[in-house]
Amino acid sequence: MLQHKLIPAARHNWQRQMAEAVRDPAELLTLLELPHDLLPVSAAAARQFALRVPRGFVARMKKGDPNDPLLRQVLPLDAEMRQAPGFDRDPVGDHAAVVQPGLLQKYQGRVLVMTTAACGIHCRYCFRRHFPYQEQAARPSRWQAICDTIAADTSIHEVILSGGDPLSLADAQLTQLVQGLEQIPHLKRLRIHSRQPVVLPQRVDDALLSWLGHCKLKTVMVIHCNHANEIDASVRRALAKLQAIGVPLFNQAVLLRGVNDDVTQLYRLSETLFESGVMPYYLHLLDKVQGAVHFEVDRQTAQALVMQLRRRLPGYLVPRLVEEVAQAAYKQPL
């Protein structure tokens, strides 16, 4: 009976999966059959930015491999506690871009709604790992004010739902927000930035597909996948469902040392994405957030990797190498 109180029967499968995510580094190592003293796991880093990884994502990791590229993205390590010049808590200028709580504008013609702090997975390189969500998230009580601000500015044509991960919210909440946005005549597009279809493919369920399929705004989804091993049969099915209702899919990846800083892995990622109906869009240089210095790949190496990638792939499968610079008018191509 206690279990039913904690996880109601009415809760959707994806919500159960989020609730049951692995949160203890020791449990993660045990699941992967790794000795607990093999890796420099940091309790301090886990306290600063908690471990969270869905069990389905853990199942894609190779057991017994401490260098598994999916594991490296989520395991809190001692290196996160190093202070490094140029790495700070707000690397892309989010604070300066706040228009009002829950609403950011960095670029002309589009705004970003910070829908929630919640995310299905905590990636150790996340540029918002220090973001003050308690102050700045667009909780439902702020949605009307956000819609009013957007309605008052006819230069805004696109709204980006971000977070956290917007698909961490229940569909009823998302529908309420989107219905408000649909009433704004000058809005043309709704863009959703989400890692959920990759790390928690159960999130792409009938309820999500229903409101997405009936959205009056042209809807685009940008997923986040860094390595071909992240895409298994369950992810392909989820992506196919989104394609079936006419949602264009793009991917943005981050170039990460020890994860995908290899031309063969970048090649595999682009090919696997395209086979799954997703266009490679951006390959980001690491945002220099405090705690992520061990993931950094230098600019020259990044440019050389993309040059090699161009030799192996048609142009439309080569993601644009970009860097996000605080207060710049657009992402900087490299």
Report pLDDT for 18: 95
Packing angle between helix 171-182 and helix 143-151, nearest 10 degrees? 20
294 falls within a domain? yes
CATH code: domain of residue 124 = 3.20.20.70
Angle at 76 between CA 160 and CA 138, to 5 degrees: 25
68 falls within a domain? yes
261 falls within a domain? yes
211 falls within a domain? yes
Measured in residues, the chain has a length of 334
232 falls within a domain? yes
For the chain, residues with pLDDT lower than 50 are 1-10
d(CA 152, CA 139): 20
Is the same domain home to 105 and 202?
yes
Residue partners of 260: CB distance under 8 A and separation at least 6: 69, 226, 227, 253, 266, 269
159 sits in which H/E element: strand 158-162
Is the same domain home to 41 and 175?
no
The verdict on whether residue 215 carries a ligand-binding annotation is no
Q: Which of these three, 81, 116, 151, is where a domain ends?
A: 81
86 falls within a domain? no
Give the three-class secondary structure for 189. Answer: strand
**pLDDT tens-digit readout, 136-158:** 767 788 899 999 999 999 999 99
Is the same domain home to 18 and 107?
no
- CA distances in angstroms from 57 to 35, 122, 231, listed in the order given: 20, 12, 9
Is the same domain home to 315 and 198?
yes
d(CA 296, CA 86): 12
- CA distances in angstroms from 320 to 112, 283, 316, listed in the order given: 21, 6, 10
Report pLDDT for 3: 33
90 falls within a domain? no
Report pLDDT for 4: 31
Is the same domain home to 23 and 48?
yes
d(CA 51, CA 30): 15
Report pLDDT for 45: 94
Is the same domain home to 61 and 170?
no
Report pLDDT for 173: 94
Is the same domain home to 52 and 157?
no
Report pLDDT for 132: 82
Q: What is the pTM of this model?
A: 0.94
Q: Which of these three, 81, 109, 136, is where a domain ends?
A: 81
d(CA 91, CA 291): 11
Which residue bears the tokens 């910070």?
114
Q: Annotate 90-134 with DSSP letters as a single string.
A: -TT-TGGGEEETTEE--STTEEEEE--S--SS--TT-TTTT--HH
Packing angle between helix 206-213 and helix 171-182, nearest 10 degrees? 0
Range of the domain at 306: 95-333
| Cβ neighbours around 135 below 10 Å, total | 9
The verdict on whether residue 147 carries a ligand-binding annotation is no
Report pLDDT for 11: 55
The CA-to-CA distance between both ends of the chain, in Å, stands at 57
104 falls within a domain? yes
The verdict on whether residue 119 carries a ligand-binding annotation is yes
Q: Which of these three, 59, 81, 103, is where a domain ends?
A: 81
Report pLDDT for 134: 73
| Cβ neighbours around 77 below 10 Å, total | 18
Is the same domain home to 322 and 294?
yes
Is the same domain home to 57 and 125?
no
Report pLDDT for 5: 35
**pLDDT tens-digit readout, 229-254:** 999 999 999 999 999 999 999 999 99
Number of structural domains the chain divides into: 2
Tell me which amino acid residue 43 is: A
Is the same domain home to 99 and 55?
no
**In the chain, alpha helices (H):** 2-6, 13-19, 25-31, 43-48, 55-58, 69-74, 133-136, 143-151, 171-182, 196-199, 206-213, 233-244, 263-275, 299-312
Give the three-class secondary structure for 312. Answer: helix
Is the same domain home to 77 and 118?
no
Closest CA to 225 of 214, 239, 242: 239
Is the same domain home to 25 and 149?
no
DSSP 88: B
